[in-house]
Amino acid sequence: MLHQITLAATLAAAILPSCVSAGPLSSPKRGLVFTPNSTTRGDDQIWFQKPSSLTWYYNYKAAPDDVYAKISQSELEFVPMLWGTPKTVQDTSFVTEIKKQIKDGRNITNILSFNEPDAPYSWGGSNMDVQTAAEVWVRNIEPLREMGLRVGLPACTGASTGINWTRNFVKACNDRISQGGLAKNCSFDFITLHWYGGFEGLASHMGQYSAEFPGTPMWITEYNFADQSLVDTQAFYNISAEYFDRLPEVERYSLFGAFRSDVSNVGPNAAMLNNAGELTDIGAWYLGRQGTGVLPTSKKSGASVPPQVSAALLVAFGLLALVC
Ligand X SMILES: *[C@@H]1O[C@H](CO)[C@@H](O)[C@H](O)[C@H]1NC(C)=O
90 is a site residue for ligand X (CB under 6 A): no
The rounded distance, in Å, linking the Cα atoms of 34 and 259 is 9
- CA–CA dist 256, 195 (Å, integer): 10
Question: How far is 35 from 176, CA to CA, in rounded Å?
Answer: 34
- Per the CB < 8 A criterion, the answer to whether 113 and 81 are in contact is yes
Q: Which of 102, 263, 319, 323 binds ligand X (CB under 6 A)?
A: 263
Q: Of the ranges 48-56, 132-140, 148-156, 183-191, which one interacts with ligand X (CB under 6 A)?
A: 183-191
Site string for ligand X, 24-53 (x = CB under 6 A): -------------x-x--------------
Paired strand residues for 110: 150
Question: Residue 127: which residues within 8 A CB-CB, separation 6 or more?
Answer: 84, 117, 119, 120, 121
Contact segment (CB under 6 A) with ligand X among 26-34, 161-169, 266-274, 295-303 equals 161-169
231 binds ligand X (CB under 6 A): yes
Bond before 296 cis per omega within 30 degrees: no
Closest distance of CB 178 from ligand X, Å? 8
Q: Which of 10, 109, 179, 308 binds ligand X (CB under 6 A)?
A: 109
The residue within the footprint of ligand X, chosen from 288, 291, 298, 323 (CB under 6 A), is 291
Q: Does 10 bind ligand X (CB under 6 A)?
A: no
In angstroms, give the least distance from the CB of 187 to ligand X. Answer: 9
Q: How far is the CB of 182 from ligand X (least distance, A)?
A: 8
299 binding ligand X? (CB under 6 A)? no
Work out how close the CB of 44 gets to ligand X at its nearest, in angstroms, rounded to a whole number: 13
Q: How many residues bind ligand X (CB under 6 A)?
A: 20
Calpha distance 30→288 (Å, rounded): 10
166 binds ligand X (CB under 6 A): no
Q: Which is nearer to ligand X, 91 or 323 (CB)?
A: 323
| DSSP symbol at 64 | -
Query: How would you classify residue 65: left for phi > 0, otherwise alpha for psi between -120 and 50, otherwise beta?
Result: beta
Is 168 an interacting residue with respect to ligand X (CB under 6 A)? yes
- Residue 105 CB coordination number (10 Å): 8
Span near ligand X by CB under 6 A; candidates 41-49, 93-101, 131-139, 227-235: 227-235
Cα 191 to Cα 2, 149, 163, 213, 253: the distances in Å are 44, 15, 11, 8, 12
Sheet of 191-195: strands edge to edge? Answer: 77-78, 56-58, 30-33, 250-255, 218-223, 191-195
Please say which residue, 52 or 174, places its beta carbon nearer to ligand X: 174
The yes or no reply on residue 238 touching ligand X (CB under 6 A) is yes
Q: What does the binding site for ligand X look like in residue numbers (CB under 6 A)? A: 37, 39, 107, 109, 161, 164, 168, 174, 183-185, 231, 234-235, 238, 262-263, 285, 291, 313
